[in-house]
C-alpha cells in the first residue's frame, strides 16, 4: 500500500513539473511570436521587429516622475487682486515627467556652447542662430539701482552656475527644449551603437548635426547622410543576404525607431495644468481618495516658514518679505538670498520638485486667456495648439533645413531668432488632408478656439450682414492689444522699429502672450500660491522669469504594482 502511494505521489509531482515546463515554454515562446498570426517577432532574417523586452519609460536626465490625477485647478479663496482669472475648475492631468529644478545658468551655457561650436557665429549664415539664443543680460538694469554686477556676471560667472537662468523669453525656452531633446536622444542612440561613438564631439558640424525627428522619419539623411556615423546592422537585426540570383539584398530593420523603445519623447515646457498640478502636489496631503484640506502653497500649512524643530522659523522659499526686504538683515537672513538663489536651496514638495514657489517665476506652454474653458475640455487642458506637419519636397521626400533655406523670425523688440536649425525637418501648417471631416480639430492654429470666434467677439451681431464675414476688422478684433511693428528698410537694410503709440488700446492680451507662474525673488508671498497666474509677451524677457522642462509619460499611469505583482488597474 505504501509503495503504491509513493508511486502515485511521484507521478503527480512529475505531472506538475511537466505542466510547469510546458507553461513556461508557452510563455517564453509567446513573447517572441505574434498572438495575431503566430509568426516569429524579431526574426534575424527579417519581418516584424518590435521591442518585446521594453519594460517602462526611464526618466530622462534631470526629470522626476509625476503620477497624474485629478485636482482642482485655480483658487478657492477671495481674489484680492480682482483679476478673476483663476476660477476653480476640476481637471485631470496625465502622468508626466518634470525637471527637478529650474534650468540653471550652467545648463543654458552648455546649450550656447553647442550652438557656438556647430554654427559658428562668425559665419554670416549662422550669426543669428547663436545671437538669437543669448539671454538678455540687460534685464538686470534699473534706472535707480546699481545692478551692473549681475548684468556682467550673472549668466557666465561660475559663482552663479547653479542659479536659475533668467533673461530668456518664452520662444528661447522652447528652442532650448528642442535642443535638449536632440542631445539626449543622440546620446542614447550612441550608447546603443546606432550612432558612431563620439561623433557628436568629433564629427558634428553645421552640415552634420543630429535631429531626433529627422532620424525617425529619414534616418539615412541624419548627420548629413554620413553612413559612417549613422550605423546599420547592429546586434540581431537583419543583415545583407544573398538572393537566389546571387545579388545581395539591402539590410532591413537596421535603424532605431519609435517602436524600438529607445527614443525619448520630446522635452517641452509644461502646460499650465501640469505645472500647477505638480506644484500643489496633493499626494502628500490626502487619505485614501480624499484631500485633507487645501494647500495654500506647495508645502503643507498656511505659512511660509517651517515648523520643524531643527530648522524652525526658516523660510521655505525665496521671495520678497516686504518693502525693501529681499533677504533680511545681514547675519540673520530671512531666506538666505536677495536676488535668485542656488536651485534646491529649499525643501522639495511632495513630488520631489524644488523651487515650485519663489526663486524665479516660470514660463509655461499656454497662451493666456482670462479663463480656463473646462466646459470644452477637462483632460490635459492646454490652450496654444498650432498643429504642424513635415514639409514634403518635390522629390516626395521630407525637406530638410539647410543654410540656404533656414528661416528667421524678427520679434517685436527687433531680436532675430532662428525658426529652425539646419538638419531639422521643415514644418508647414496642417491642411485639409488632415482636417477634412474631422470632429476633434478643423484647422492648424487653435489658439483662439472658442475665444475669438464670432459667437464671442465684442461686436458680434446675430443675423447681421457681417455674420458671414470671417475677417473681423481691425476695430472689431477681440483683443485690441498694441501692435508693434519691425521691418527692414529695403534701401538701407537697416531695421525699422515702429512702436504702437495708440491711446485707444484696451488690453495687453493677444495670441502672443504666455502664462507664467510660481512667484519670484521680487514677488510678495501672495504670488507663491500655485493657482496664481500672470501673463507676459512671449518675445520679451525679464530678470525674474525662468523655466523648467517637462516630458510626457508613455505607458501606464502608474508603475506601482498590486499585491499580486500585476500593475494596478487604471480604471
Q: Are 89 and 535 in contact (CB under 8 A)?
A: no
Average pLDDT over residues 239-264: 71
The residues, ordered by sequence, that sit 6+ positions from 321 with a Cβ below 8 Å of its Cβ are 328, 334, 335
Query: Is the pLDDT reported for residue 365 higher than 90?
Result: yes
Query: Is the pLDDT reported for residue 235 higher than 50?
Result: no
Counted residue by residue, the chain has a size of: 571
- Domain ranges, ordered by start, for the chain: 56-192+262-374+516-557, 479-510
Segment among 34-43, 155-164, 478-487 with least mean pLDDT:
478-487
- Model pLDDT for residues 522-536, shown as the tens digit of each residue: 999 999 999 999 999
DSSP annotation string for 410-425: E-TTS-EEESS-TTSB
At residue 178, the 3 state secondary structure works out as helix
Strand locations in 339-454, DSSP E? 361-367, 388-390, 408-410, 416-418, 427-429
Query: Is the pLDDT reported for residue 43 higher than 90?
Result: no
| Confidence tier at 27 by pLDDT (50, 70, 90) | very low
- CA separation for the pair 2, 92 (Å, rounded): 66
Determine how many CB atoms are found less than 10 A away from the CB of residue 183: 18
Segment among 14-23, 405-414, 482-491 with least mean pLDDT:
14-23
- Model pLDDT for residues 301-354, shown as the tens digit of each residue: 777 877 676 666 678 899 999 999 998 888 878 888 999 999 999 999 999 999
10 or 434: whose pLDDT is higher?
434
Query: Is the pLDDT reported for residue 389 higher than 80?
Result: yes
* H or E element in which residue 173 lies: helix 170-191
| Of 351, 376, 164, residue with least CA distance to 274 | 351
DSSP annotation string for 25-66: HHHHHHHTB-TTT-PBTT-TTSS----TT---PPPPTTEEEE
Residue 399 has a pLDDT of: 95
- Supply φ then ψ for residue 97, to 5 degrees: -115, 150
Q: Are 208 and 402 in contact (CB under 8 A)?
A: no
Residue 25 has a pLDDT of: 46
- CA separation for the pair 239, 250 (Å, rounded): 8
- CA separation for the pair 417, 408 (Å, rounded): 6
501 or 132: whose pLDDT is higher?
132
The residues, ordered by sequence, that sit 6+ positions from 67 with a Cβ below 8 Å of its Cβ are 95, 283, 557, 558
Residue 44 has a pLDDT of: 78
- CA separation for the pair 316, 34 (Å, rounded): 54
Query: Is the pLDDT reported for residue 567 higher than 60?
Result: no
437 or 286: whose pLDDT is higher?
437
Buried b (16+ CB within 10 A) or exposed e, 421-439: bbbbbbbeebeeeeeeeee
The one-character DSSP state at 219 is G
The x, y and z cell numbers of residue 474, run together, are 481691425
Q: Are 163 and 156 in contact (CB under 8 A)?
A: no
Query: Is the pLDDT reported for residue 569 higher than 50?
Result: no
Average pLDDT over residues 211-215: 96
Location of C-alpha cell 505574434: 34
- CA separation for the pair 424, 212 (Å, rounded): 8
Residue 311 has a pLDDT of: 61
Query: Is the pLDDT reported for residue 570 higher than 50?
Result: no
Location of C-alpha cell 500585476: 566
Residue 456 has a pLDDT of: 55
Residue 334 has a pLDDT of: 84
Taking only Cα atoms into account, the Rg of the chain, rounded to an integer number of angstroms, comes to 28
Strand locations in 23-62, DSSP E? none
- CA separation for the pair 415, 495 (Å, rounded): 10
The one-character DSSP state at 33 is B
Residue 242 has a pLDDT of: 52
CATH of domain 56-192+262-374+516-557: 3.90.1580.10
* Cα atoms in the 13 Å half-sphere on the side-chain side of 117: 13
Average pLDDT over residues 348-362: 96
The x, y and z cell numbers of residue 538, run together, are 512671449
- CA separation for the pair 109, 131 (Å, rounded): 13
Segment among 156-160, 232-236, 322-326 with least mean pLDDT:
232-236
Please tell me the pTM assigned to this model. Answer: 0.88
| Confidence tier at 462 by pLDDT (50, 70, 90) | very low
Query: Is the pLDDT reported for residue 135 higher than 50?
Result: yes
- Bridge partners of residue 515, in order along the sequence: 535
Q: Are 231 and 195 in contact (CB under 8 A)?
A: yes
The residues, ordered by sequence, that sit 6+ positions from 80 with a Cβ below 8 Å of its Cβ are 526
Query: Is the pLDDT reported for residue 500 higher than 90?
Result: no
Query: Is the pLDDT reported for residue 203 higher than 90?
Result: yes
| Confidence tier at 468 by pLDDT (50, 70, 90) | very low
The x, y and z cell numbers of residue 344, run together, are 534646491
276 or 475: whose pLDDT is higher?
276
- CA separation for the pair 269, 550 (Å, rounded): 6
Strands 286-287 and 290-291: antiparallel
Residue 31 has a pLDDT of: 64
Query: Is the pLDDT reported for residue 16 higher than 90?
Result: no
- Bridge partners of residue 249, in order along the sequence: 241
Average pLDDT over residues 273-281: 96
Amino acid at each position: 500500500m505504501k509503495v503504491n502511494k509513493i508511486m502515485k505521489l511521484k507521478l503527480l509531482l512529475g505531472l506538475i513539473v511537466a505542466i510547469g515546463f510546458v507553461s513556461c515554454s508557452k510563455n517564453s515562446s509567446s513573447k517572441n511570436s505574434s498572438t495575431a498570426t503566430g509568426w516569429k517577432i524579431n526574426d534575424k532574417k527579417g519581418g516584424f521587429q518590435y521591442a518585446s523586452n521594453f519594460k517602462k519609460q526611464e526618466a530622462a536626465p534631470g526629470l522626476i516622475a509625476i503620477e497624474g490625477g485629478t485636482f482642482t485647478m485655480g483658487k478657492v479663496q477671495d481674489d484680492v487682486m480682482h483679476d478673476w482669472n483663476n476660477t476653480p475648475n476640476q481637471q485631470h492631468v496625465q502622468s508626466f515627467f518634470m525637471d527637478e529644478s529650474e534650468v540653471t545658468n550652467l545648463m543654458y551655457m552648455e546649450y550656447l556652447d553647442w550652438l557656438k561650436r556647430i554654427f559658428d557665429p562668425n559665419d554670416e549664415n549662422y550669426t543669428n542662430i547663436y545671437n538669437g539664443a543669448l539671454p538678455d543680460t540687460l534685464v538686470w538694469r534699473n534706472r535707480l539701482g546699481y545692478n551692473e554686477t549681475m548684468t556682467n556676471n550673472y549668466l557666465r560667472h561660475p559663482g552663479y552656475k547653479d542659479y536659475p537662468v533668467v533673461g530668456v523669453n518664452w520662444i528661447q525656452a522652447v528652442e532650448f527644449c528642442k535642443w535638449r531633446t536632440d542631445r539626449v536622444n543622440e546620446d542614447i542612440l550612441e550608447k546603443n551603437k546606432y550612432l558612431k561613438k563620439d561623433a557628436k564631439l568629433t564629427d558634428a558640424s553645421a552640415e552634420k548635426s543630429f535631429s531626433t525627428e529627422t532620424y525617425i522619419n529619414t534616418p539615412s539623411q541624419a548627420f548629413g547622410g554620413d553612413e559612417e556615423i549613422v550605423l546599420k546592422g547592429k546586434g540581431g537585426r537583419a543583415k545583407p543576404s544573398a538572393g537566389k540570383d546571387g545579388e545581395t539584398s539591402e539590410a532591413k530593420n537596421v535603424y532605431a525607431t519609435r517602436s524600438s523603445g529607445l527614443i525619448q519623447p520630446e522635452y517641452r515646457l509644461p502646460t499650465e495644468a501640469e505645472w500647477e498640478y505638480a506644484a500643489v502636489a496633493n499626494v502628500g496631503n490626502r487619505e485614501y481618495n480624499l484631500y485633507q484640506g487645501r494647500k495654500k502653497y506647495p508645502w503643507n500649512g498656511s505659512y511660509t516658514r517651517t515648523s520643524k524643530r531643527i530648522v524652525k522659523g526658516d523660510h521655505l522659499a525665496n521671495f520678497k518679505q516686504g518693502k525693501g526686504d529681499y533677504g533680511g538683515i545681514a547675519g540673520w537672513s530671512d531666506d538666505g538670498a536677495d536676488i535668485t538663489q542656488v536651485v534646491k536651496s529649499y525643501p522639495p514638495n511632495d513630488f520631489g520638485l524644488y523651487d515650485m514657489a519663489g526663486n524665479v517665476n516660470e514660463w509655461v506652454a499656454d497662451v493666456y486667456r482670462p479663463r480656463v474653458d473646462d466646459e470644452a475640455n477637462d483632460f490635459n487642458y492646454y490652450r496654444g495648439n498650432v498643429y504642424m506637419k513635415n514639409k514634403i519636397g518635390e522629390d516626395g521626400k521630407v525637406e530638410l533645413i539647410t543654410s540656404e533655406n533656414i528661416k528667421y523670425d524678427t520679434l517685436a523688440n527687433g531680436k532675430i531668432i532662428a525658426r529652425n536649425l539646419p538638419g531639422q525637418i521643415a514644418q508647414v501648417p496642417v491642411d485639409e488632408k488632415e482636417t477634412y471631416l474631422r470632429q476633434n480639430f478643423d484647422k492648424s492654429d487653435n489658439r483662439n478656439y472658442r475665444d475669438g470666434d464670432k459667437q464671442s467677439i465684442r461686436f458680434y451681431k446675430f443675423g447681421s450682414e457681417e455674420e458671414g464675414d470671417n475677417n473681423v476688422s481691425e476695430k472689431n478684433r477681440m483683443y485690441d492689444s498694441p501692435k508693434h511693428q519691425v521691418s527692414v528698410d529695403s534701401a538701407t537694410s537697416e531695421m525699422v522699429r515702429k512702436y504702437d503709440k495708440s491711446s485707444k488700446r484696451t488690453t495687453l492680451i493677444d495670441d502672443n502672450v504666455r502664462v507664467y507662474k510660481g512667484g519670484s525673488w521680487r514677488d510678495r508671498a501672495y504670488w507663491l500660491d500655485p493657482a496664481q497666474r500672470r501673463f507676459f509677451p512671449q518675445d520679451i524677457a525679464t530678470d525674474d522669469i525662468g523655466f523648467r522642462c517637462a516630458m510626457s509619460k508613455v505607458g501606464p499611469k502608474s508603475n506601482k504594482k498590486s499585491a499580486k505583482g500585476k500593475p494596478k488597474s487604471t480604471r
